[in-house]
Amino acid sequence: MNQASLPEALVIMCVLSLYGWGRVCRLFCGARILKFHSLPAVLGLAVLNFIGDLLNLFMLATAPVLFTFAIVC
Domain boundaries, the chain: 3-72
More confident residue, 60 or 34: 60
SS3 track for 11-73:
HHHHHHHHHHHHHHHHHCCCHHHHCCCHHHHHHHHHHHHHHHHHHHHCCCCCHHHHHHHHHHC
At 32-48, the pLDDT tens digits run 766 777 888 888 888 88
pLDDT above 80 (res 31): no
Q: Residue 24's pLDDT is what?
A: 80
- Work out the pLDDT band at 54, boundaries 50, 70, 90: very high
Residue 58 has pLDDT above 90, yes or no: yes
- Mean pLDDT of the residues in the chain: 80
